[in-house]
Structure 1
Amino acid sequence: MSEHEQDGQEREFDLRWADDAEHKEPSARARMLAARWKDNPPGPVPFRPDPDHRSRGRRARSRSHSRSSWVSTAVVFGCVAAVIVLLGYINFRAP
């Protein structure tokens, strides 16, 4: 058995051994958050905001967003149509 094959088998054994471990150490981020939350636990955060938090500004932003979305779509389709017409014109002019 070559040295490369032996290294591969040892690494595979180590990975299986690590995966089968009963106790797994938490990541550095998990340890950091646990230490931070031990003294100052985070408050509850709702999955979705309450419906009464919506404001007129948000509705106006949403209308503006949908308008800009349509404008972007129209520009893309216009560019595609222009390229198709240009290619058709070039092919028509070629003998």
Structure 2
Amino acid sequence: MPEQDDAEREFDIRWADDAEHKEPSARARMLAARWKENPPAPQPFRADPGPAGPRRSSWVSTTVVLGCVAAIILVLGYAQFRAPY
């Protein structure tokens, strides 16, 4: 490595990436120690999501949204009508 001052050497990413040994993260060490004593149960790649609930029609959702919008418009209109000028 060419001569560099301490600040440049400290933040030289290529030098760090070329290191022969890389220490695992704290989480990786913790999990390795935990799994050594008590290994996790095998999990399928995609777990079964379970039974799906009943599906509502898109018309029901649309009606609920439009009903809420209409109710808000009516409440705001009534508030404007009742407001003293």
Normalising by structure 1, report the TM-score.
0.46
CA distance in 1, matches of 2:14, 2:34: 33
Look up the match of 2:65.
75
Alignment of 1:30-45 (within 5 A): 30-45=28-43
CA distance in 2, matches of 1:45, 1:71: 36
Q: CA RMSD in A?
A: 3.7
Larger Rg: 2
Alignment of 1:26-65 (within 5 A): 26-49=24-47, 54=50, 58-59=51-52, 61=53, 63=54
Normalising by structure 2, report the TM-score.
0.50
Q: Deviations over 1:16-61 (max 9, x none)?
A: 22111121100010000000001111121101235xx84xxx23x2
Look up the match of 1:10.
9
Return the letter of the residue paired with 1:67.
R
- Cα 1:40–1:68 change in 2 (3 A) is farther
Q: Which runs of 5+ in 2 are unaligned?
A: 1-5, 70-85
Q: Which has the higher helix share?
A: 1
- Cα 1:26–1:71 change in 2 (3 A) is same
